[in-house]
């Protein structure tokens, strides 16, 4: 009996060891498999692989690797040989996305493809004309003059919601026999709560400066011409302080490059107008008629020459300096071209477009391979901070596109006429806002329209 017990005990030990070893082998195999190690039975070796995580908006798009249909989004494509793949993502009725993606061993390469309708719906936001529409610094309001039975100064709110709830123009001030808001220029306060309606005579001299509270309706605004210089100087100081705070993390070489793009400061210590393209002008040049000694004032919304993305992790700027570093290095760009500097990865990307030779404007906020961006009119950030909205004037008519921040994947959204380079993305990212006459009769005033992106 004792011999039998000893044999059974020995068998139990052996079985336990075998089970333990089997569990360890399976666990190790699972770990290596999860990390992308794949056995190659032809060579008898274990190969290290990588993977691609492909996501798209909208989902359900086909994913091609080197022109071979592989899967549909959202998906993870595993056990890929480390190399560069040509990845194409397509969905019927939407723009295509294409890029060369490098797959490294043991790492995941993430794709977030944004696809837009090839035939977007276009809807009017105004119907009685929109004169000199001007976007607020926070990108959530448009102020403009309008004609019609209720002619006056209007505010169009842009709520950060997918649906257009609450997007109804409200009348801030009515026209009077002396005041016609369709002839005014608008200067926003840095906090987007006040705006100056500025009027000029036939010679271009400033005659009236009416301060508007954007949170009140049907108001009788005060003329602040006497205190205009002090008001604009105070606003500029606020803009300067905000810009300096944001630029703390930006490399000095980037700051130096943008400063070369700025003209010398004008009288009164005011910052000069930034030489950067955006969606429309936010300029205020005040030559007050009653005092010819007052300086010409320019309110500059980008005193450092840096336009930060909505998440403040990337910077759009115009480089006027020849950098001693690599054109695509960590802190150097190509002189005379627009650049995007990524503060997280510390990489600089040169956009495939050159600076305009004509006077450029400033404003707040505002497939496959490198995009061709000749004849640039305006450029501004898309709300996801990963794309840019670009307006161009190529031969044959106007064109509005969305590109990735590195200059790749140009996706044409709209082809046709638009006015005053007024083009930017709604804060929700669901549509573009443009100023155009579209199908109106010739001679009719332009109106604001939304171009649906979903």
Percent of the chain with pLDDT over 70: 72
- Residue 32: pLDDT band by 50, 70, 90 thresholds? low
> Higher model confidence: residue 67 or residue 263?
67
Q: How far is CA 137 from CA 190, 286, 310, in A?
A: 6, 20, 12
Return d(Cα 146, Cα 163) in angstroms, integer.
24
Tokens 């898309």 identify what position?
Answer: 382
Candidates 454, 351, 420; CA nearest to 144 is: 420
DSSP-derived letter for residue 395 is T
Which long-range contacts does 143-147 make (Cβ < 8 Å, 24+ apart)? 143/172, 143/186, 143/188, 143/195, 143/212, 143/214, 144/186, 144/448, 145/180, 145/181, 145/182, 145/183, 145/184, 146/181, 146/182, 147/182, 147/445
Residue 322's Cβ-side half-sphere holds a number of Cα atoms within 13 Å equal to 0
Residue 36 has pLDDT above 60, yes or no: no
Return d(Cα 82, Cα 34) in angstroms, integer.
16
Percent of the chain with pLDDT over 90: 57
- Residue 391: pLDDT band by 50, 70, 90 thresholds? very high
> Higher model confidence: residue 349 or residue 337?
349
Token pair for residue 402? 């969305």
Cα-Cα-Cα-Cα torsion 159, 162, 163, 167, nearest 10 degrees, comes to: 20
Burial status of residue 407 (CB atoms within 10 A of its CB: 0-12, 13-18, 19 or more): buried
Which residues, other chains included, contact 290 with Cβ-Cβ below 8 Å and sequence gap of 6+?
A: 225
- Residue 68: pLDDT band by 50, 70, 90 thresholds? very high
Residue 359's pLDDT is 32
Residue 4 has pLDDT above 90, yes or no: no
Residue 301 has pLDDT above 60, yes or no: yes
The H or E element containing residue 238 is helix 228-246
Residue 14's pLDDT is 72
Residue 366 has pLDDT above 50, yes or no: no
- Residue 440: pLDDT band by 50, 70, 90 thresholds? low
The H or E element containing residue 24 is helix 2-34
Taking residues 175-202, report their average pLDDT. 94
- At 213 the three-state DSSP class reads strand
Domains of the chain: 45-114 (2.60.40.1120), 122-452 (no CATH)
């Amino acid at each position: 009996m004792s011999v039998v017990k000893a044999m059974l005990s020995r068998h139990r030990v052996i079985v336990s060891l075998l089970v333990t070893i089997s569990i360890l082998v399976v666990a190790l195999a699972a770990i290596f498999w999860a990390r992308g190690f794949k056995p190659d039975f032809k060579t008898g070796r274990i190969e290290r692989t990588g993977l691609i995580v492909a996501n798209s908006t909208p989902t359900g798009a086909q994913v091609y690797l080197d022109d071979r249909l592989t899967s549909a989004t959202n998906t993870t494509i595993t056990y890929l040989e480390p190399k560069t793949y040509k990845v194409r993502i397509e969905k019927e009725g939407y723009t295509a996305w294409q890029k060369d993606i490098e797959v490294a061993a043991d790492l995941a390469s993430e794709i977030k493809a944004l696809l837009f309708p090839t035939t977007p719906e276009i809807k009017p936001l105004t119907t009685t004309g929109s004169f000199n529409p001007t976007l607020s610094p926070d990108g959530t309001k448009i102020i403009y003059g309008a004609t019609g039975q209720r002619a006056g100064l209007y505010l169009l709110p842009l709520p950060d919601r997918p649906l257009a709830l609450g997007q109804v123009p409200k009348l801030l001030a009515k026209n009077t026999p002396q005041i016609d808001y369709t002839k005014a220029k608008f200067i926003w306060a840095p906090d987007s709560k006040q705006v100056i309606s500025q009027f000029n005579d036939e010679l271009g001299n400033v005659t009236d400066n009416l301060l508007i509270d954007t949170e009140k309706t049907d108001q009788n605004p005060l003329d602040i011409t006497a205190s205009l210089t002090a008001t604009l100087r105070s606003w500029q100081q606020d803009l300067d302080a905000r810009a300096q705070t944001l630029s703390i993390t930006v490399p000095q070489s980037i700051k130096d490059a943008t400063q070369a793009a700025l003209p010398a400061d004008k009288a009164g210590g005011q910052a000069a107008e930034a030489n950067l393209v955006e969606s429309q002008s936010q300029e205020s040049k005040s030559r007050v008629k009653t005092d010819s000694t007052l300086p010409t004032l320019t309110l500059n919304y980008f005193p450092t020459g840096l336009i930060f993305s909505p998440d403040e992790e990337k910077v759009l700027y115009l480089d006027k300096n020849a950098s001693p570093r690599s054109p695509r290095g960590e802190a150097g760009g190509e002189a005379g071209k627009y650049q995007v500097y990524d503060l997280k990865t510390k990489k600089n990307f040169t956009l495939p477009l050159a600076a305009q030779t004509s006077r450029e404007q400033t404003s707040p906020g505002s497939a496959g391979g490198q995009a061709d961006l000749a004849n640039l009119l305006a450029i501004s950030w898309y709300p996801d901070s990963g794309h840019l909205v670009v307006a161009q004037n190529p031969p044959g008519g106007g064109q509005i596109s969305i590109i990735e921040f590195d200059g790749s994947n140009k996706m044409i959204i709209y082809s046709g006429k638009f006015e005053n380079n007024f083009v930017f993305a709604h804060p929700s990212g669901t549509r573009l806002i443009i100023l155009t006459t579209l199908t109106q009769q010739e001679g009719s005033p332009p109106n604001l329209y939304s171009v649906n992106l979903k």
